[in-house]
Amino acid sequence: MSDFKDLDMLLESFVKNGPAGCGCALAKNGRTIYENYFGYADLETKKQMSEENIFRLWSMTKVIVCTAALILFERGKYLLDDPVYEFFPEYRYMSKVCINQHGVVEILPVQNPMLVKHAFSMAVGMPYPGGPGYTSKEMKTIKDRLNALPEKYTLRTEIREMSKVPIAFEPGTRWMYGYGHELVAGLIEAVSGMTVGEFLKKEIFEPLGMENTGYRFRGDQRSKMASFYLRGDDGTLTKSQGHFDPDHEPDAIYEGGGAGLFSSVRDYLRFTQMLANGGELDGVRIIGRKTIDLMRRNQLNDEQLADFNSATPYLSGYGYGLGVRTLMDPAKGNINGTVGEFGWTGFMGTYALIDPSEGFSLVYMQQMSPNMEKYYHHRLRAVAYGCI
């Protein structure tokens, strides 16, 4: 059995040849049972990492946004099998990329509509812009054009423009990490009449007391942001700007669904504890227990699971639910955790683990790329489960 001294030693080892600093906290049944910080929030000024620091969440934004959208599902604002075009009319007549027998790209109409649940489960055939493949390259062309405009643009504008791109496959047939959660964020705006940021603040952040979480800097939050470092092959760290940093400024207007939020270890721990405790924390109900169960239920068929396992080999033993990984086979993944444990990670190495069966959650934050997620997160998971 491990204990918190083992966790301390593990985290100390991380900062010796990895991130400049990190923070980690564990909670069970609504009570924080461990919290500690190591290394530096900024190497150049030797500012120590502490509980006051905030971190770029990148893809851990997804868990919050999908939870918010499922609040609206509980209120009857949409169904998961609703066509996306009911909320974004420009998605009614979509096209897809096909490769014929001669290896030539053909653009053909889709046979079935893109559904809301496809957006949650990354089955819309829309990757992120800038990767390989016809669809991703066309999306990057649109993104570059929007970024070249003299005026700022909103998520809704981007969603509208992305509808012009042929998707990579028939909706719902494969799994491809990418743009689906931008559509989920857009859905929140369409059915709530609020921006994503407004809805998150009203329905999640304020009720849970998450004062250091959001899209835009407030007060002295800019000074609390941990610095981001690129790690060289020799372990050297070079400070760099985060991709979404300009969107944190007060005059920005873009609010993404797949990335873009910042948070602190303590704030995100409160969010994960709410989910681990059936949707309620400190007497505040955010979402229903049965909806969380749906969120963490695998949504993928065998072919989609093969796509998921190929794209995320370090998540062996997991499937994919409504915006989250979900543990299906602990033995396959060599995991001492619980079937149904769920969560996600972020590009800079942030990590969240949520286990409703144990009322347990873990949050880890760092700001480094490459993030070495398999090395760090798997060890954290093993030691943390040993502690409980």
Tell me what pLDDT residue 116 has.
98
Q: What is the DSSP letter of 85?
A: G
**Per-residue pLDDT of the chain in tens (388 residues, 90 and over written 9):** 678 999 999 999 999 999 999 999 999 999 999 999 999 999 999 999 999 999 999 999 999 999 999 999 999 999 999 999 999 999 999 999 998 877 788 999 999 999 999 999 999 999 999 889 999 999 999 999 999 999 999 999 999 999 999 999 999 999 999 999 999 999 999 999 999 999 999 999 999 999 999 999 999 999 999 999 999 999 999 999 988 999 999 999 999 999 999 999 999 999 999 999 999 999 999 999 999 999 999 999 999 999 999 999 999 999 999 999 999 999 999 999 999 999 999 999 999 999 999 999 999 999 999 999 999 999 999 999 999 9
The pLDDT value given to residue 102: 78
Four-CA torsion 115, 172, 342, 374, nearest 10 degrees: -140
Residue carrying the six token digits 């929030």? 41
Bond prior to 370 in cis (omega within 30° of 0)? yes
Q: How far apart are CA 148 and CA 307, in angstroms?
A: 34
CB contact at 8 A, 114 and 84: yes
From residue 313, how far is each of 131, 308, 373, 379 by CA, in Å?
18, 8, 11, 16
Q: Let me know how long the chain is.
A: 388
For the chain, domains (ranges, CATH) are 4-60+196-387 (3.40.710.10), 73-192 (no CATH)
pLDDT for 105 equals 87
Looking at residue 100, its pLDDT comes to: 82
Query: Both tokens of residue 18?
Result: 């990895």
Q: How far apart, in whole angstroms, are the C-alpha atoms of residue 377 and residue 321? A: 20
Token digits for 302?
């065998």
Q: How far lies 184's CA from each of 53, 94, 116, 248, 277, in Å?
A: 28, 18, 8, 20, 24
Supply the pLDDT for residue 242: 86
Place of tokens 């990757």: 127
